[in-house]
Amino acid sequence: MTGRDGGAAGTDPVRLPDNDGGERPDGNTRHVPVMLRRCLDLLAPALERPGAVVVDCTLGLGGHSEALLTRFPGARLVALDRDTEALRLSGERLARFGDRATLVHAVYDELPEVLARLGVPRVQGVLFDLGVSSMQLDEADRGFAYAQDAPLDMRMDQTAGISAAEVLNTYPPGELVRILRAYGEEKQAKRIVGAIVREREKEPFTRSARLVELIRDALPQAAKRTGGNPAKRTFQALRIEVNGELAVLERAIPAAVKALAVGGRVAVLSYHSLEDRLVKQVFAAGAATTAPPGLPVVPERYQPRLKLLTRGAELPTEEEVAENRRAAPARLRGAERIREDV
């Protein structure tokens, strides 16, 4: 991977370990895939066809991928992740499926290049489960979670790119304010950045607990009484900046739509309004006619390419949230490719 914009992480398939998959990677007992049944149901009409190919663009610990391979025994899986540790653990989990599963070290906006290398011109299904994986949240030394002290890293691919500490310690104040406002929707961005700049002049930031304490001290009492942990929005903004998440997503969703065969389906799980808004815009544009107003008959080239499969964004059930608190902010949207580009 290169830099903050989520560039190439390498597109060579990762070989699955030679075992029967009976052992699960450490921590998989706690990993509950979000809205799993609904995702499978949305994709089912496309994946029940013989020879179907489905892409899991966000492999993580492999829960969604395992379920896809199990429910659709005739399907082939291509799974992407920028996190080498996730690829290793999921490789163990999915080994029993043999050559039906191809794991690739790549960022999901590299989907066109990955499919070209694998000789797959079109796919029948694409799944995105955006945000931070359970493994990344639960491993303290990754620095994603504000509830425990850890090095300020936040890189999903720890082999490349800059860390959250580097962002905090080197970015100009104005750029930090922009990031917190744009990616964290933080109303107190100027106040927080002012405190960060003062503190980094004394000593560079290296660990999360110091940043969390600084944010608590910097915010007025009224801002600390609502919205959960006051560091939540800053940590989200830093994570998005470090991993170039929105820039990657802006490229990845249109690429996924373009990769779909007619009748193919895409499902996207988002976890904050910035992601969901972007997905909504791409799907809405694909489902709209592009014809100039007033035409008595709409030519083929102006017809919609997509059919929306969800009415707005679907939410997890109360039961699922009770079982898996990380499902609470999830928003699911789906679309079907109904026409080729002309």
- Residue 161 to residues 131, 176, 230, 328: CA-CA distances in angstroms? 18, 18, 27, 30
Does 341 count as an annotated binding residue? Answer: no
Give kind and range of the element (H or E) at residue 143.
none
**What burial class does residue 308 get, using C-beta atoms within 10 Å of its C-beta: 0-12 exposed, 13-18 middle, 19+ buried?**
middle
Residue 308 dihedral angles phi and psi, to the nearest 5° = -75, 135
Using CA atoms in the order 96, 98, 104, 108, what is the torsion angle rounded to 10 degrees? Answer: -70
Does 272 count as an annotated binding residue? Answer: no
Does 153 count as an annotated binding residue? Answer: no
Q: How far apart are CA 49 and CA 261, in angstroms?
A: 12
Does 81 count as an annotated binding residue? Answer: yes
H helix intervals, the chain: 36-47, 63-71, 84-94, 111-118, 134-138, 164-170, 173-184, 189-202, 208-218, 221-224, 232-243, 245-259, 273-286, 318-323
Q: How far apart are CA 233 and CA 238, in angstroms?
A: 9
Give kind and range of the element (H or E) at residue 28.
none
Q: At what angle do helices 189-202 and 208-218 cross, to 10 degrees?
A: 130
Does 41 count as an annotated binding residue? Answer: no
Kindly tell me the number of DSSP H helices and DSSP E strands found in the chain: 14, 8
- Residue 157 to residues 3, 47, 102, 105, 109: CA-CA distances in angstroms? 11, 30, 19, 9, 14
Q: At what angle do helices 273-286 and 245-259 cross, to 10 degrees?
A: 30
Does 221 count as an annotated binding residue? Answer: no
Nearest to 215 by CA among 203, 228, 172: 228
Does 158 count as an annotated binding residue? Answer: no
Query: Does residue 81 sit in helix, strand or coil?
Result: strand
List the binding residues: 62-64, 81, 108, 129, 136
List the binding residues for S-adenosyl-L-methionine: 62-64, 81, 108, 129, 136
